Every structure is written in structure tokens, then in C-alpha cells.
Structure 1
Amino acid sequence: MNVAVEPKQGLLARIRWMSAYMNPALRRIAERVLRAPEDIKSISIKDLAMQCEVSESTVTRFVREIEVTSFQQFKILIAEELSQGTGVPPVVTDRHVYEDINENDDTASVLSKVAARYAMTIADTRAGLSSDELERAVSAIEQADMLAFFAMGASLICVENALLRFMRVGKPCQFFRDLGIRQISTSTLGPKSLAIGISNSGRTISTVDSLKEAKAQGAVTMCITSFPDSPLVRHADIRLFTPTVTGVIGPADYHESMVSKIAQLQIIDVLYSLYAVRNFGSAIAGLEKTSDVTSLTRY
């Protein structure tokens, strides 16, 4: 019997993602490592601390934060990853129709590549999500009298899933496809509302503007995105990050990643499940009530 092996997340990818949740001192170390990882192979802990304007104990804390046992082990792992060519995205030389699929791929290759990317995305999403930020998100959902969603393009898939999940357990939600009405709807939000902006790039103008306006109206704001430095993040009180789209397909600005939607769906399902478990009685009642309604639509 064949046993599936779960894809392993690279150390640099882990640092890139976890840096979004780090305090400023640790984030400076992460940014220095990512800026020139090849330097880390020969740098001393003292020199790295000086370059990042932190103490040596802070560097040690950073290493432990990324689940590495020692600074020396950290240097070894970085060197191994760079030697294997997994630390730096290769240059895009081919044209791709979907992720890393090009005209030379046959049926078996397409099946293998799509399955591998999905599996890796799911594993990376699970590994990188901050438990503390998830707790904040679920608490905000519990306290909100309205969940207002904002998204465009392929991220609408995530919104549709969220509407189905939360409305079925009795949580009021709103989403408007018309851009004009969507912008107007932000004026109806207030301190008891939770505005959720979803964008892989974090740069979709209407989504960013809607979250910004919702925050100005006093609503609690949350974002689901892949990029900690994106404009969307600046207007979010709660930030949940999906794996950054890198590798042979190039950066997010190159084209929209459909695999990233798997990570978005995963986050919504985690939030929904946590909320439903915490409010089990009302969630079950809501599921039963909506089941009665939806049963009328089926033969």
C-alpha cells in the first residue's frame, strides 16, 4: 500500500510567512535573512544581531520561534535549502496556463502537479496560521452583529463559501456584487460590525477601499491575504495570511493564483468550525432550521 507523504514547507518560506505575526525586533531579523539568505551561512550570531539592531538573545529567540533548535542548526538548514535550490524562486522563462503547468505537460504530469500544489498549499496553510490570531478572529465573529464581506475576482469563491457556512448557523452576513452598492454599504457598518476583506494580492482597489472605509466607520476589520506588506493589511485589525504565491509561477502581480483560493477556503472552514464548536447549541439549531428550508429545493 502506498502512503502519501505530506509536502514539507521550506525554512525560508516558513520565515517569510511567520514574519507577518512577529514583533518588530523579530521581524527585522526575518527581513534580513530573506533579503540575503546566502549571507547567513557564514554570519555569526553577534554580527546578525548588530545588523538587525537587536540582542543576541533576540536572535536566539527568533531561531526558536521558527522551530529550529540552535543558531548553528539554523545556518545549516539555510545552507542545505539554498544548495537544493528551494530557497530562491527560479526565473520565469516559460509561459504557464495554470500555476507551473505549460504546453509540455501531459495528462499524468498535470494530475501530479495540481495534486502536489493543492497538498502543499493545505499543509503550508495549516503550519503557518497563528493560533492567537485565529482566536481573535473567532471572538470578533462571535461579538459581531453582522459579517460584511468584500472581495473581487477569484476571491469571490471564498466569500460564497463563507456566506453558506455562517448563514447556515444563524450568523447575519452581507455581500454585494455591485461595486457601487458595496461601497455604499460600508456607511451602514459600525462598532458591532466585522468587515472582512479577502484578496490574495492584498492590492485589489475596491477591497482595500471598502475595508478602509469600514474601519473609518468604527467597524472591526479583518483581512485574508498572502502579503504582509500589502495595502489591505494596513486597514485590518485582524490579519490571517495564506501561503505566498512564489516559485515557478512568479509573484502574485504576474497573475492570479487559483491554488491560493484553496488556502482561503481552508481558513474560512477553520473559522466556521471554531465558531460552531464554541456555539454548538445554536449552530446545530441553525443547521437544522436551514436544512428544513433547503430540503424544499431538492427532489
Structure 2
Amino acid sequence: MMAEKEVQLPILRSVYQDLTRSEQRIADYITSHADEIMDKTIPELARNTKSAEITISRFCKKLGFSGLQGLKIALAAELSSSGDDRFQDIHRGDSYEQVAGKIFGNIAEGMQDTLKILDYAAVERAINALVQARRVAVYGFGNSATVCRDIETRFLRFGMVVQAYDDISQQLTSASLLTAEDVVIAVSHSGSTMNLLKTVEVAKKSGAKIIVITSYAQSNLAKIGDIVLTGMGREVHYRSESVASRLIHMAITDVLYTGIAMQQPEQYQENIGKMRSVISATRE
């Protein structure tokens, strides 16, 4: 008998850690029996996963589908586009050429996953909010702090009042002084960092609009955010998922950066010209 093709929807990966045990059992079954799911009814799927029928319906809605049929359509699209591409983990005996090939391949797959789960209406709302903001505060810790610094460096080119903070005391001070005219970009792979949640809650009470960039759509941080942009990388044992997702999150911020530039092309070109002129003068 031919083994079942194991396929996992990107959206399943983005919410998996926030699913209940029963829902994770359903997700695992779908991953391992992707081809079978197309012919299954809700009662059959419930029986095979030892779940209640209402749990199957709630599971589908949690993933953003109206019901099982919507999930089947998304799964069919995933099956048709996946081809022979397989996620590749890194092993101790791999050559450096193999390591490089796997890392680059997995990054590319993670980018494609993100294209499938990114909410483009949310992207547009985020760009509009940033264009209209009086000032932008960017919060994150650890690997996410590098994304925050990149946002600060790049968005500064628009003449924005933007600053990145990776210290809890500075974050809380900044958050307490924000107003309804300000925007926060909070970056976190897990979306569960307690200090970041505390800071964002303070910023929310101050009236600021919260844009969240995270790997987990159902995380506590995502639930606080006004606008949530989700994207995650492929995990390997020698390279944590949070490190891979850092690159995905930077790519999402590149989309925001480009969107802002498209909204104000003349101002952007003028600012870039001024920046290059001043920087080139330091090289003479």
C-alpha cells in the first residue's frame, strides 16, 4: 500500500502551538493523511481523530475557513503546488555544500509559505497606519530586536520619527507616552514573550495602534494587536526556527517599506537623494 503523502498547510504550522490537544490531533491527522481528507466527511474525520463533530467545525473556523469544504480547497491547492519539494533537515554528516543548499532551500520554502498565509488586507492597513503616524515605536527582544533595528534604519529614510527599543524599561517608558496618533510595531517569533506583552498592553492603553509581526497567528501578542502579519520559517535542528523566521519577518517589513515608498514616491526619492549626498560626502 502506498504511504500517505505528508503535507502540512502553512496556516497549520502558524497556529499549531495554540491549538488544543484535540485540535492538534486533528492537525496531525490531516498532515499524515492529506490525500484521504478530500473524501472525508465531518463525521468520518471526527471518528478517525476520536473527536466530536463540533470540534472539527471549530477547528476549521479557527484556521479561518467557513467549514471543512474550505479547508479541503486550501489543502488541494497545497497538494497541487507542493510537487516533490520536501523540507530538509540538517544532519551532522552533511557537507557544507549540502548545509548551504538545505538552509537556502528551507528559507525559500518559508518565504513561499508566508506568501500563502499573509493577510494582504492587513498589509494595506499597516501601510496606511504607518504613513499617517505621528511617530513609530518598534519593540522586540533577542533575534526579533535585529528586525526592529532594521525597521528603524530603513523607515528613517521616509523622514519618520521612528525608534526601536529592546530594553524593557525604555519600552515601558516609550509605551506610556504614546497617543492615538502613534503606531507600535511589535516583533516576536513566539508572540508569548512576557515583557513584550506587558509593553504592548501599556501602548494599547495609551491609545496607540498596534501592528504585530509574529510566527503564530493565535499567540497572545497577536490577540492584542490591531493588525497582525504572520510569517514563519522552516525549522531545522541546527538552526532554530526563530532564527529562520527572523529573515521572514524582515521580508514582511520590506513589503511594508516598499508599500510606504509607493505611496509617497516623490518624497521618498528626495529623501534618498539627500541621504546619499550626505553619506557620499563622508567618503571623500
TM-score normalized with structure 2 length: 0.76
Return the letter of the residue paired with 2:253.
I
Counterpart contact for 1:221–1:237, Cα < 8 Å: yes
| Distance in structure 1 (CA, Å) of the matches to 2:100 and 2:202 | 43
Of residues 211, 215, 221, the one that matches 2:204 is 215
Matched, 1:249 2:258: no
Counterpart contact for 2:234–2:241, Cα < 8 Å: no
| Distance in structure 2 (CA, Å) of the matches to 1:60 and 1:18 | 20
Q: CA offsets per residue over residues 233-253 of structure 1, 9 Å max, x none?
A: 12111101112554x539xxx
| SS across alignment from 2:8 | helix
| Distance in structure 1 (CA, Å) of the matches to 2:270 and 2:217 | 38
Matched, 1:192 2:187: no
Query: What residue number does 2:125 align with?
Result: 136
| Distance in structure 2 (CA, Å) of the matches to 1:117 and 1:61 | 27
Matched, 1:298 2:277: no
Counterpart contact for 1:245–1:257, Cα < 8 Å: no
Return the letter of the residue paired with 1:12.
Q
What count of residue pairs does the alignment treat as equivalent? 256
Matched, 1:36 2:63: no
Kindly tell me: are residues 147 and 191 of structure 1, through their superposed partners in 2, closer, same or farther at Cα, counting changes over 3 Å? same
Kindly tell me: are residues 159 and 15 of structure 1, through their superposed partners in 2, closer, same or farther at Cα, counting changes over 3 Å? closer
Q: CA offsets per residue over residues 244-287 of structure 1, 9 Å max, x none?
A: 554x539xxx9563221110110011100011101112211222
Deviation larger for 53-62 or 165-174: 53-62
Unaligned runs of 5+ in 1: 1-9, 21-29, 90-98
Counterpart contact for 2:175–2:206, Cα < 8 Å: yes
Q: CA offsets per residue over residues 7-65 of structure 1, 9 Å max, x none?
A: xxx85233415879xxxxxxxxx87741532577266335259443479983323433x
Query: What residue number does 1:63 align with?
Result: 72
Give the Å deviation of 1:117.
Answer: 1.8
Counterpart contact for 2:231–2:249, Cα < 8 Å: yes
TM-score normalized with structure 1 length: 0.73
Identity across matched positions, percent: 26
Deviation larger for 223-232 or 174-183: 174-183
Query: What residue number does 2:3 align with?
Result: none
| SS across alignment from 2:229 | strand
| Distance in structure 1 (CA, Å) of the matches to 2:113 and 2:241 | 19
Return the letter of the residue paired with 1:147.
V
Give the Å deviation of 1:289.
Answer: 2.2
Unaligned runs of 5+ in 2: 1-5, 17-22, 47-52
Counterpart contact for 1:134–1:240, Cα < 8 Å: yes
1:77-96 → structure 2 map (5 Å cutoff): 77=79
| SS across alignment from 1:218 | coil
| Distance in structure 1 (CA, Å) of the matches to 2:184 and 2:215 | 18
Query: What residue number does 1:16 align with?
Result: 12
Query: What residue number does 2:106 align with?
Result: 117
Return the letter of the residue paired with 1:45.
T
RMSD after superposition: 3.5
